[in-house]
Structure 1
Amino acid sequence: MPTSTMVELPPAAVHTCWSSLGRLAVALSSGTLQVWDAPHAHPSASWTAHSAPVRKAVWAPSEFGSLLASASTDGSVALWEEYLSSDHHPVSTQWRLVCHLQDQQTPILDLAFGNCLSGLKFVTAGADGYIKVYETASTLELKKWQLQAEFPNVVNLKEGTGQITCSCASISWRPPVDSVQRPVFALGYSTSSQQFSTAKVWEFTEAYQRWQMIAELRESHEKPEPVHHISWAPNVGRPFELIAVASGKSVSIWRLEFPLDSQGRLVVTRSACLTDHNGEVSHMDWDMTGMTLATSGSDGNVRLYQSNFSGEWKLQGIVRSTKDS
């Protein structure tokens, strides 16, 4: 079947992110952010967001309006809000800076919003292996953000952090129920240190007012492997949770049993190990029901997986790249 190009993005594009309303945010290595609105073949907005290359751009939950966050290689995070401008006629929409955060020069590798019971939060994963959690003082005042917590992605702080090199990180919040989610997220790193590299699940405990690791997504006999992407599946009535973790050419699907056991840990089992890709798996996405997983990698193909009634995950189809067609 012949294919046609809908939109051609700039060569400097390094990251894209769709909103729930079908809008596309594009981050450029020049420090520029763009917003594309279908069916237009040109960006509806384009502005200089950072003085250094933009690494990631993510949309906030739709209930907070058109709110966009961007992270740069200089360690800064900026929040942008769309508004109606009457400076020119006709009235048009513009983007303005809501908040700018920068604690140090450590590059931000990933960031993600979470709309929790205690308010809107976002998590950043730095190239030094540290996680930072920010929260709003009030969801009605999105200009005021505070650092709620900062901690390294290690099981035991006594192990020490040392000097590490992180090439990528991936964050995925536990999907919301009734538009609000629990303060639980999964994070995986690809680093020079094994203790940082595994995918881990973190939860905020109200009793101790701190974040604690409640699961490590690997078998006890396995060595930690660098994580390239992590994706928490939506849950529509399942009595358990599913998380997909991409490491190298393989994808592991993990089953998590909530609530926590008597020692404050999750019961975690591997449901599948998918090894069909011929190259490194770089991205994954679940459908809205959490029953179909799409994976893509450097081999240029997208693979679709589903679980049968026996709980076995099977390859259901391949979307091949044009060079292979």
Structure 2
Amino acid sequence: MFVARSIAADHKDLIHDVSYDFHGRRMATCSSDQSIKVSGFLTHGLLEFVCNATDVTHSGSVWRVTWAHPEFGQVLASCSFDRTSNDKQRGQSHWIKRTTLVDSRTSVTDVKFAPKHMGLMLTTCSADGVVRIYEAPDVMNLSQWSLQHEISSKLSCSSHAPMIAVGSDDSNVTYGGKVQIYEYNEVTRKYAKAETVMTVTDAVHDIAFAPNLGRSFHVLAIATKDVRIFKLVPLCASSAPTKFEVQVLAQFDSHNSQVWRVSWNITSTLLASSGDDGCVRLWKANYMDNWKCTGILKGDGSLLSGQPGALSAILGSAAAQSNCSHVLFKKSQLEYKSLVGT
């Protein structure tokens, strides 16, 4: 059975993001109290979650926190309203700030590490519409990061990373194209815009590529006023950048409210979404590629009545290995958006 448990994060203000490490054994949270807290499992017959680190490293609200692949050690990156991105590494007994990236002139709104096969690379995006890509040339010296690329998307954005999807949280619904896709060109060694998803006209709160396990196409999930899943099929691989046919695989308004987070499991077979309805909803495709809701978790972790009993098994296997178990902070998310707008 799936058992829900409340965790006292001990933050003094709104919590904006929750991120699990690769193995799902540690959880990092960040808040408007300018702090990052890391919790981990202790096992004494039962699993117990305890807070084992506090890192007050920013002078403004901390929007996002993310983990690097464990191949590079225990490394965390965070971004803040104070216009910086910080990289932290765990020492023998506590977390140490290794570097501060200060290239942005406005609030840094999102930060993501690249897949491990690309090396230790970090992507940030900021409210000025600029996506920046950094690389640590020496993984043993995390105090040195080089700025590799700057991409001006002309959007107030949030991102992901070798193709990069950029989503705008601009609430102006008079124009489409709130999602843009950029692709790296090996010849020019620059990123160029490959596609614009014109059908997305509402503010984008989160965006996530599904892990690509050898597919000839890409799958992209978008959190806006609803949940949308797109299929990006390359039309001409010889062109630079590649052109894509954008197909809508699924669109769900079951949250009946704004959707704030979307996250895939490690095998890209399950998508989790969370919204202002106080629920986490799980979506899965059948063999006909028809997407359906396979389960609903309420904010207190209990199953919504009438939902499949197999939900606990799904959570225990695939979803627990990824960031699918996002904690819901309905009030926090609403106030967070008003903060960004000021």
Query: Residue in 1 aligned with 2:187?
Result: 207
Query: Residue in 1 aligned with 2:65?
Result: 57
Query: Residue in 2 aligned with 1:70?
Result: 78
Matched, 1:27 2:25: no
- CA–CA separation in structure 2 for the residues paired with 1:2 and 1:312: 26
Cα distance, 1:4 vs structure 2: 5.5
Question: Are the structure 2 counterparts of residues 118 and 58 from structure 1 closer, same or farther at C-alpha, using a change threshold of 3 Å?
Answer: closer
5+ residue gaps, structure 2, are: 43-47, 306-342
- CA–CA separation in structure 2 for the residues paired with 1:20 and 1:117: 15
Query: Residue in 2 aligned with 1:187?
Result: 166
Segment of structure 1 superposing worse, 222-231 or 279-288: 222-231
RMSD: 2.6
Cα distance, 1:281 vs structure 2: 0.7
Query: Residue in 2 aligned with 1:45?
Result: 53
User: Deviation per CA, 1:126-164, whole angstroms, max 9, x where unpaired?
Assistant: 01111111112333332211111222224xxxxxx7xxx
Matched, 1:255 2:231: yes
Query: Residue in 2 aligned with 1:18?
Result: 20
Question: Are the structure 2 counterparts of residues 8 and 253 from structure 1 closer, same or farther at C-alpha, using a change threshold of 3 Å?
Answer: same
8 Å Cα contact 1:56-1:110 kept in structure 2: yes
Secondary structure of 1:227 counterpart = coil
Larger RCO, structures 1/2 (Cα 8 Å, 6+ apart): 2
- CA–CA separation in structure 1 for the residues paired with 2:8 and 2:105: 32
Cα distance, 1:53 vs structure 2: 2.1
Query: Residue in 2 aligned with 1:302?
Result: 280
8 Å Cα contact 2:177-2:197 kept in structure 1: no
Cα distance, 1:116 vs structure 2: 6.1
Matched, 1:108 2:116: no
5+ residue gaps, structure 1, are: 85-92, 155-160, 174-182
- CA–CA separation in structure 1 for the residues paired with 2:2 and 2:117: 47
2:204 to 208, 227, 233: 227
User: Deviation per CA, 1:188-240, whole angstroms, max 9, x where unpaired?
Assistant: 1112566796112212111111111112233xxx4633211111112334332
Q: Percent identity?
A: 28
User: Deviation per CA, 1:32-57, whole angstroms, max 9, x where unpaired?
Assistant: 22111113554111122112222211
8 Å Cα contact 2:41-2:50 kept in structure 1: no
- CA–CA separation in structure 2 for the residues paired with 1:309 and 1:2: 26
- CA–CA separation in structure 1 for the residues paired with 2:106 and 2:184: 24
Give the TM-score normalised by the residue count of structure 1. 0.81
Cα distance, 1:259 vs structure 2: 7.2
- CA–CA separation in structure 1 for the residues paired with 2:201 and 2:26: 37
Cα distance, 1:3 vs structure 2: 6.4
Query: Residue in 2 aligned with 1:177?
Result: none
